[in-house]
Homo-oligomer: A and B are copies of this chain.
């Protein structure tokens, strides 16, 4: 393991104030919703959110950055609403996000998340699946019991988003099982939009609904969130290949070691020419022995030579430009969009 001599940049230092403020205002609502669950499900959920250890003792957990709730509140503010009234919607979006994490971890057999053991490794598949199911229902219940006039429309929008998230995860699982040379860039982008962009778009749309925005503004907010989400995924994929392990907390080239069909890799394979062929030859199933850093660096270099890194960075910039355009369409007063824009820039800068 190489050690960096620079102090690791903590995420806190770079974090927009909107993010910490959103956590402060949404956290009590989120905890109330989780604590209202039956005891057998509550303990799994509280562990998942990092509030409890497996034995039920309190943990000073890491429940994640809460980017999605922050987007709900920032979108409400940007459209002239009172963010305080959208706190339930923000908590519902965060519950929904965490339901998908619980199921994705079972499906992908991921053993750690946020530096902690995942729910299925601690409580078994059954409890992890059922806790995810209950969080989905609890999110809908939170919205359905919200007296705010936008709540019924928010229920429908969030439910439709969940269907899209599921389709995105189905597509992701299917892609990972296929020959890398047969995976196309458009389908990988569509998968990333459904899996990542849809909920960021939904978060922004819900904030707009709660601020009384009209249909065109809500659609533009959704498009803003989707574009920002795609930009985030592109940068996250770049970090998954070339990121500094001291900053990402993941070993270098982790995505390459499992032959993940991330966007830069698919773009590189689809680029044609000898560099793509060279990468395709390297990107078959890994051999039985553990690959060393040299092998992974060779693959990373092949992705770069085939243009995957440049493409992803240019594409992320394009998506951010699209996001800014959509935001201008949604928000009549430019300076009130500052909060949303700084959140989008934050997530695409660092990947979360």
Q: Which residues of A contact B (CB under 8 A)?
A: 37-38, 40-41, 99, 103, 106-107, 124-127, 129-134, 136-138, 140-141, 144-145, 151-152, 155-156, 159-160, 162-164, 166-167, 169-171, 173-174
Asked if B38 and A163 make an inter-chain contact with CB atoms under 8 angstroms apart, the answer reads yes
Residue of B nearest to A134 (CB): B166
A sample of 16 more A-B contacts (CB under 8 A), given A38-B163, A141-B160, is: A40-B171, A41-B166, A99-B133, A103-B129, A103-B130, A106-B129, A107-B125, A107-B126, A126-B173, A130-B169, A134-B167, A137-B163, A138-B163, A144-B152, A145-B156, A152-B152
Nearest neighbor of A100 in chain B, beta-carbon distance: B133
- What 3 pairs across the A-B complex have the smallest Cβ distances? A137-B162, A144-B156, A38-B167
Contacts of A37 on B, CB cut-off 8 Å? 163, 167
A41–B144 CB distance below 8 A: no
| B166/A140 in contact, CB under 8 A | no
**Known contacts being A38-B163, A144-B159, A163-B141, is A170 close to B127, with CB within 8 Å?**
yes
- Which residue of chain B has its CB nearest to the CB of A36? B163
A194 to chain B, nearest CB (A): 8
A59 CB to nearest chain B CB (Å): 21
- The docked-state distance in angstroms from the alpha carbon of A99 to that of B40 is 20
- Chain B residues whose CB sits within 8 angstroms of the CB of A40 once the complex forms: 167, 170-171, 174
Residues of chain B within 8 A of A140, CB atoms compared:
140, 155, 159
Partner of A130, one of B38, B131, B134, B170: B170
The chain B residue with its CB closest to the CB of A153 is B144
Of the listed residues A38, A103, A159, the one surrounded by the most CB atoms of chain B closer than 10 A to its CB is A159
Which of B129, B137, B151, B164 sits near A129, CB closer than 8 Å?
A: B129
Report the separation of the CA atoms of residues A30 and B204 in the bound assembly, to the nearest whole angstrom: 31
Q: Is the CB of B127 within 8 A of A173?
A: yes
A186 to chain B, nearest CB (A): 16
Do B156 and A137 have beta carbons less than 8 Å apart? no
A228 to chain B, nearest CB (A): 23
Residues from chain B with a CB closer than 8 A to the CB of A156 are 141, 144-145
7 contacts between A and B (CB under 8 A): A38-B167, A41-B163, A41-B167, A130-B169, A133-B133, A137-B160, A144-B155
Minimum Cβ distance to chain B for residue A326 (Å): 23
Q: Kindly list chain B residues whose C-beta atoms are within 8 Å of the C-beta of A106.
A: 125, 129
Contacts of A129 in B (CB 8 A): 103, 106-107, 129
A134 → B minimal CB distance (Å): 4
A103 to B130, CA, bound (A): 8
| CB-based nearest B residue for A194 | B38
Q: What separation, in Å, do the CA atoms of A37 and B164 have in the docked complex? A: 9
Name the contact of A162 in the complex, choosing from B133, B166, B170, B171 (C-beta under 8 A). Answer: B133
Decide: A169 and B137 in contact? CB cutoff 8 A: no
Q: Give the CA-CA distance A156 to B145 in the complex, in Å.
A: 6
- Chain B residues with Cβ under 8 A from A103's Cβ? 129-130, 133
